[in-house]
Chain A
Amino acid sequence: MDAFSEFIRGITRDNPILGLVLGLCPALAVTTSVENAIGMSVATAFVLVCSNVFISTLRKQIPSAVRLPIFIIIIATFVSIIRMVMEAYVPSMHAALGIFIPLIVVNCIIIGRAEAYASKNNVFFSFVDALGIAAGFLLVLVLIGGIREILGTGQIVAFGYTLLSLPINPAVTTMIMPPGAFLTIGIIMAVVNYQRAKKRAKGG
């Protein structure tokens, strides 16, 4: 087991959205813009890393009967912390992500990783795993957010900088509305499936 491949695995095969198909709610709800996508991913990454490390540290102490409640308490603690911190120091981001910050608690990725990885592996690898998964989450969220924002508003504006703007006028407003989220992720998944099937048929 080497750390780098564990990290990459989180982005590719075990990609939380495209591979494991977990944590869809935030992936769709907050990706109206790249900025929100990044904000959400960072918050999630914080919780993921902290809880993975914490749980793998304590993994020998946690009685299996109440494993789940304890995981949840740990995760909820970190979520509450990031929620309060964001509310205090980046209020606009907090407002934009709304209810989905507290909902990180129930993001299936985090509890899933705690269950499937952190409770079985040592601290270092749990840390790397969390980083990899978080990176995978970030990439997909930014991709979805980017597609939706550029098509939906004609430009990508993040943290005050206009990163990209298209001469599409008027923009496809539907893309930043709920249907746009489903459509984007549906098409992304179809493309990924298509490529995977093609690769497999060629023996990849």
Chain B
Amino acid sequence: MDYTISAPPHIKSKFSFRSINRAKILALIPVSLASVYFFGIPALEIILVAVLAAVATEYGIQRIFKKKVTIMDGHAALIGLMFALLTPPEAPIWIPIFGAFFAITIGKHAFGGIGSYVFNPVLVSWVFVRSAWGGFMTPMSIPNLGQLSDLVLENGAGLLVDVSPILLLGGVYLIYKKYIEWRVPLVFALTVFFFNQTVAFFSAVMSLIQEGVLNPLMYLATMFIFLEVTDELSYVMVGIVFFGILFLATDTPTSPVTKNGRLIYGFACGLLVSIYGYFGNYVDGTLYGIFLANAIAAYIETKTLPAMFGHESLLESSYRRIMKRIPSSLKFEVISDE
């Protein structure tokens, strides 16, 4: 047994499931700390209890079914933490316990564990808990804040995660560092942005019509609304939406694997979230919307598989037409050492 043999390649990238989970947890630490600061001890309790419950459940299940114990990969802890952040601070303490338990058992392991689940375990659990005990999951309290703007410190009713949108931008850093894939969050964010700005645009046009304005320049000028932070847009600038875009929609097992599929999925997320948000609110809307998008992800995937022999989809042929213009030497980019 002198040497090791294995198939090539003999080196692998530094990313691992574990490092990705750890990075995500790290990125969520700032907002967790802020929520403890503003909501006080209940928030701390919820976070600790949810993480502990998730890890303990994972350990228990893996022991009972005689599987390898994988609590050290950080996935269970991440699920627990994410559930906790989606809980309102005044929820009774058994809510995060049950939520973490349900997420790990039904959401994760019933489907087969890491990578095998089709629905984000956090969302599975959250939606179940929300529909079972709606009253406890409705955000009530308003964190006691100073005069900071909404984007830095959210001044509305909230779940723990709603404390501060800006503190969630660690997720953007993770995208930059390639811990998180970029297509879904980008298209998601753009869709939400344009949906709301378009709504604002149309309502502005409608009000002009009602006022009987005839000057076409006035109508043209409403285009500038796309550059403003409209009321509609400001409803979206809340922690939960940022969290959904950066951390929930980007959960890889629940999004399509094809490149085009991911673009469509991001669009679907954005649309579903915006529609719900338009009629209802963005707290439920973000979570229900992404959950529903999870359900159609598989279908998107089957429809965006690489084309069959000799056939090309519309999307691909236009893609190819664009690619033709790009210098061919750029296409086979050399693998660099990251």
Closest to B130 in A: A174
B contacts with A: majority SS: helix
B173 within 8 A of A: no
Which of under 10, 10 to 19, 20 to 34, or 35 or more describes the interface residues of A? under 10
A24 within 8 A of B: no
Q: Residues of A contacting B128 with CB < 8 Å?
A: 174, 179
A175 within 8 A of B: yes
A-B contact count (CB 8 A): 17
Q: Is the CB of B131 within 8 A of A177?
A: yes
- Residue pairs across A and B with Cβ atoms less than 8 A apart, 16 shown, are A170-B133, A170-B135, A172-B132, A172-B133, A173-B131, A173-B132, A173-B133, A173-B134, A174-B128, A174-B131, A175-B132, A177-B131, A179-B128, A179-B131, A183-B106, A190-B110
* Assembled-state Cα–Cα distance A179/B129 (Å): 12
Q: Residues of B contacting A179 with CB < 8 Å?
A: 128, 131
* Assembled-state Cα–Cα distance A102/B153 (Å): 58
A82: min CB distance to chain B, Å: 34
- Report which A residues bind B (CB closer than 8 A): 170, 172-175, 177, 179, 183, 190
Q: Residues of B contacting A175 with CB < 8 Å?
A: 132
Closest to A174 in B: B132
Interface string of B113-144 (1 = CB under 8 A from A): 00000000000000010011111000000000
* Assembled-state Cα–Cα distance A171/B205 (Å): 48
A125: min CB distance to chain B, Å: 40
B25: min CB distance to chain A, Å: 29
Q: Residues of B contacting A173 with CB < 8 Å?
A: 131-134
Beyond known contacts A172-B132, A179-B128: 15 more, CB 8 A cutoff: A170-B133, A170-B135, A172-B133, A173-B131, A173-B132, A173-B133, A173-B134, A174-B128, A174-B131, A174-B132, A175-B132, A177-B131, A179-B131, A183-B106, A190-B110
